[in-house]
Chain A
């Protein structure tokens, strides 16, 4: 059986090329027979993490992005340790240094770049290396065991990372730089000087304004001679002066090259069937050396190869974020002043903070941050969007809004007793928070949360904590831009935008690309990312159960003693004698300690052992009531016109219809509905996320109510005439909430945050409603009942049982 698929060959097994392939597999898994050649004897690893391997933060295994199993399971042939030496573009064949000859239909060049080695006399000596791949890291580690003195040539990003790694390995490190100040491409002089002082304190030495002349030594390097006659002793020299696109193969194969391999907006070279992505490619005159642009290019190329329409790649605005052992540095855009620009600066030598904004025509065009890079992502997105910042300059520079400093909350808090509990969930008093600020040095809500647990559970007391922060920290208050959790400085909107833009498809990938500062996230960001990915890519994202909170993983509510509760779905709160008898029999059979009616017109069977859950679900043979999830919980109804003498409409029928329509829907927070059959509103629809109240000849639709942490009455969204319209508006509202709200943000908070009008404005346009309705139907179409699924799949069911096989050896 011959394979009739087109043959796709990728030259270069690195981040950019493999990323494009991953993308292509998702768009069109069967289109190509894929072969990958890589010179290094490793699968695809995260080159950016090399410095963290050197610094001891990660192991070699941990930085692998795609292990061999991945290649295998996708049917990709991988030639590791093979270098392609020539391409016959006329015959469409590639030749490797180990004698492999392979025909191709489409060829991707992702050859990356090579470290630029200064052509100094003596550069061939032992102990002169670059800082580019795993092998270089290994040499550094080996060298550090028997030698002391290291010299890094190059005071840029790469050089400093290498120097930091060498310091960590216990070597004495001098950084040689040709310019008067380090990192001149990413920083202005004041920030550069602050960084140098900080690094000097950590033990790095700097030799600035130094031109390297020759490398001294016999077989092994002994020292480095400078143009001014001075000599630096060295047992190891690491050259980190830059990278140059690896274009040699393309050049000799007749592919047009400049500094890099020249490509158009679709990553096509001048030769049909030959593409280039990543550091080796030059797009509109720029060869990028950062991850985000390479990923964007990969996405465009994948679409091209899968024949999916794409607008092409139009270049990237880049930002640099560097963290060298606790020093945070950030820069983006055009951060040096030019004619026609103004610069705003803020410098605090005591705190080691420096901030500079460059503004042109009321737009932010560049920024440098030192010491506190919390605002980096926000400023970067402003630079990219080109929004008008007139009148907000000072706020952006100081990170404090003017009215935040004059809050009326202060006075009330001042008069509050010291032992008054601010955080009811974790029992944190006013004085404990005051102490954390005054002697613990907390300057942000996030720090107070980490230090005292105040506002760490339900978050209801966060405004009070903020008020206390202003009260006690006074002028020192640092309004840090808080990320969705401590693992990132990015907010919800930035994360969702980046996932969408770069088409990130797994939690791990999001954390990698968006530079999470923890290895595997935390119990807050993992479920958030899992939700956002499922919301954005409903049909292709595979839900990560290990990133769901406990209740959602076990599809039951965990109780204080480790037992669980079971709430079957009872649509609209309407049951029958047969159903009640079945529930009663199951409760008796499993000796359920407590049977209780919930507030939402259902039955709760409490005190169930985890291992009994699947058995009970099987016997109940009812759908899950999802009483444990960020999803549709209950639809409360009154009797309505079926029996009630005041009822104007069939409330139970509408409730059942809504519940059947939206059950199993993943939402940012839990969603409760209610339907009342007349304006007496016996189902209390006006404190629900979506409430429906019947009037004579129609329905009122209410949104954003809550009867929980902060009681909030709903806002009236609109009045409609037919049952179908109720469904249409409910679908549109719920989908808009799914797409716009942050994880764990209830509709009440969301409506308060974005304002009723902004929601009305979108939903009042019928095309928008229909488009939203279509999207919610897509999201719902891929859901299944979790209880049935667990009952029927041993691989899922095993997690409810203890391990039983035990043998003493």
Chain B
């Protein structure tokens, strides 16, 4: 388990997303309207769409390729589609806005 500092909350727009590359793996960090930051692997289980470029609605993201919906808290794909993506633990230091990702 490694914990790393990946950036600041202000690096990510509200209802937006930024990515980090860790080795071969790309992780998408999302910032929800209520300020919560969540991280999932940046790959839709359907056809590998880049989730970071999808639309954020509440705590779900719509994959930009075929509109699969993924719950960012659990990584679970919503009905009528099936599957799940890996989620990662994120902490935000409220005092300075630093975002920490645990792998």
The finding on whether chains A and B are genuine partners in a shared complex, rather than unrelated, reads yes
Residues of A within 8 A of B (CB): 59, 61-62, 426, 450-453, 456-457, 518-523, 526, 546-547, 549-551, 553-554, 558, 560-562, 610, 798-799, 801-803, 805-809
Contact of A546 among B55, B58, B64, B81 (CB under 8 A): B55
Q: A546-B14, A547-B55, A558-B65 given. 5 additional CB < 8 A pairs?
A: A450-B79, A549-B64, A806-B4, A807-B4, A809-B3
Q: List 10 A-B contacts (CB under 8 A).
A: A452-B80, A457-B67, A523-B57, A523-B67, A526-B55, A547-B55, A549-B55, A553-B53, A803-B6, A808-B4
Kindly list chain A residues whose C-beta atoms are within 8 Å of the C-beta of B49. Answer: 562
Contact of B20 among A547, A551, A806 (CB under 8 A): A806
Alpha-carbon separation in the docked complex, A807 to B5 (Å): 5
Task: Please determine whether B57 and A521 come into contact, CB atoms closer than 8 angstroms.
Answer: yes
Please list the 5 inter-chain residue pairs (A to B) with the smallest Cβ-Cβ separation, ordered nearest first: A550-B64, A546-B15, A523-B62, A519-B58, A803-B7
Q: Say yes or no: A558-B64 contact (C-beta < 8 A), given A450-B79, A518-B58.
A: yes
Alpha-carbon separation in the docked complex, A518 to B79 (Å): 15
Task: Please determine whether A802 and B53 come into contact, CB atoms closer than 8 angstroms.
Answer: no
Alpha-carbon separation in the docked complex, A547 to B14 (Å): 11
Task: Please determine whether A802 and B21 come into contact, CB atoms closer than 8 angstroms.
Answer: yes
Contact of B47 among A61, A560, A799, A807 (CB under 8 A): A560
Closest partner residue, chain B, to A563 (CB atom): B50
Kindly list chain B residues whose C-beta atoms are within 8 Å of the C-beta of A62. Answer: 34
Q: How large is the interface on B (under 10, 10 to 19, 20 to 34, 35 or more residues)?
A: 35 or more
Kindly list chain A residues whose C-beta atoms are within 8 Å of the C-beta of B2. Answer: 808
B1 CB → nearest A CB, Å: 11
Q: How many A-B residue pairs have CB under 8 A?
A: 97
Kindly list chain A residues whose C-beta atoms are within 8 Å of the C-beta of B87. Answer: none
Residues of B within 8 A of A (CB): 2-7, 11, 13-16, 18-22, 26, 29, 33-34, 47-50, 53-58, 62, 64-67, 69, 79-81, 100
Kindly list chain A residues whose C-beta atoms are within 8 Å of the C-beta of B57. Answer: 518-523, 526
Closest partner residue, chain A, to B54 (CB atom): A550
Kindly list chain A residues whose C-beta atoms are within 8 Å of the C-beta of B13. Answer: 546, 799
B2 CB → nearest A CB, Å: 5
Task: Please determine whether B34 and A61 come into contact, CB atoms closer than 8 angstroms.
Answer: yes
Closest partner residue, chain A, to B53 (CB atom): A550
A338 CB → nearest B CB, Å: 45
Kindly list chain B residues whose C-beta atoms are within 8 Å of the C-beta of A551. Answer: 64
Alpha-carbon separation in the docked complex, A450 to B69 (Å): 12
Contact of B5 among A426, A520, A805 (CB under 8 A): A805
Task: Please determine whether B67 and A803 come into contact, CB atoms closer than 8 angstroms.
Answer: no
Alpha-carbon separation in the docked complex, A326 to B80 (Å): 20
Kindly list chain A residues whose C-beta atoms are within 8 Å of the C-beta of B3. Answer: 808-809
Task: Please determine whether A803 and B19 come into contact, CB atoms closer than 8 angstroms.
Answer: yes
Alpha-carbon separation in the docked complex, A554 to B50 (Å): 13
Closest partner residue, chain B, to A544 (CB atom): B15
B90 CB → nearest A CB, Å: 12
Q: Say yes or no: A523-B5 contact (C-beta < 8 A), given A61-B34, A457-B66.
A: no
Kindly list chain A residues whose C-beta atoms are within 8 Å of the C-beta of B20. Answer: 802-803, 806
Task: Please determine whether A802 and B18 come into contact, CB atoms closer than 8 angstroms.
Answer: yes
Closest partner residue, chain A, to B11 (CB atom): A803
Closest partner residue, chain A, to B61 (CB atom): A523
Alpha-carbon separation in the docked complex, A487 to B19 (Å): 29
A613 CB → nearest B CB, Å: 12
A151 CB → nearest B CB, Å: 35
Q: Say yes or no: A799-B19 contact (C-beta < 8 A), given A550-B53, A807-B4.
A: no
Q: Say yes or no: A806-B48 contact (C-beta < 8 A), given A520-B58, A526-B57, A799-B16.
A: no
Most B CB atoms within 10 A — which of A59, A546, A560, A562?
A: A562
B92 CB → nearest A CB, Å: 14
Most B CB atoms within 10 A — which of A798, A803, A806, A808?
A: A803
Q: Say yes or no: A522-B62 contact (C-beta < 8 A), given A549-B55, A560-B47, A798-B11.
A: yes
Kindly list chain B residues whose C-beta atoms are within 8 Å of the C-beta of A550. Answer: 53-55, 64
Alpha-carbon separation in the docked complex, A727 to B54 (Å): 37
Contact of B55 among A59, A451, A523, A558 (CB under 8 A): A523
Closest partner residue, chain B, to A562 (CB atom): B50
Alpha-carbon separation in the docked complex, A807 to B55 (Å): 29
Kindly list chain B residues whose C-beta atoms are within 8 Å of the C-beta of A809. Answer: 3-5, 100
Kindly list chain B residues whose C-beta atoms are within 8 Å of the C-beta of A558. Answer: 50, 53, 64-65
B70 CB → nearest A CB, Å: 12
Kindly list chain B residues whose C-beta atoms are within 8 Å of the C-beta of A799. Answer: 13, 16, 18
Q: Say yes or no: A805-B7 contact (C-beta < 8 A), given A451-B80, A558-B53.
A: yes
Alpha-carbon separation in the docked complex, A210 to B87 (Å): 54
A65 CB → nearest B CB, Å: 13
Alpha-carbon separation in the docked complex, A547 to B62 (Å): 12
B5 CB → nearest A CB, Å: 5
Alpha-carbon separation in the docked complex, A456 to B26 (Å): 29
Closest partner residue, chain A, to B66 (CB atom): A457
Kindly list chain A residues whose C-beta atoms are within 8 Å of the C-beta of B100. Answer: 809
Kindly list chain B residues whose C-beta atoms are within 8 Å of the C-beta of A805. Answer: 5-7
Task: Please determine whether A450 and B80 come into contact, CB atoms closer than 8 angstroms.
Answer: yes
A804 CB → nearest B CB, Å: 8
Alpha-carbon separation in the docked complex, A558 to B52 (Å): 12
B18 CB → nearest A CB, Å: 5
Kindly list chain A residues whose C-beta atoms are within 8 Å of the C-beta of B50. Answer: 558, 562
A425 CB → nearest B CB, Å: 9
A560 CB → nearest B CB, Å: 7
Most B CB atoms within 10 A — which of A62, A547, A802?
A: A802
Task: Please determine whether A546 and B62 come into contact, CB atoms closer than 8 angstroms.
Answer: no
Alpha-carbon separation in the docked complex, A169 to B49 (Å): 41
Alpha-carbon separation in the docked complex, A518 to B59 (Å): 11
B94 CB → nearest A CB, Å: 14
Task: Please determine whether A803 and B55 come into contact, CB atoms closer than 8 angstroms.
Answer: no
